[in-house]
Structure 1
Amino acid sequence: MTEKKTLICYQCKVELEMAKTCFEYLGLSFHTNVLKCPKCGLVFIPEDLAKGRMAEVEKQLEDK
Structure 2
Amino acid sequence: MDAGIQPNQIATITPYQAQVTLLTSTLRPAYGPDLEIGTVDGMQGREKEVIIISLVRSNDTVNKFNV
Do both share a fold (TM > 0.5)? no
Structure ranking higher on relative contact order (CA contacts 8 Å, 6+ apart) = 2
TM-score by length of 1: 0.26
Q: Which has the higher strand share?
A: 1
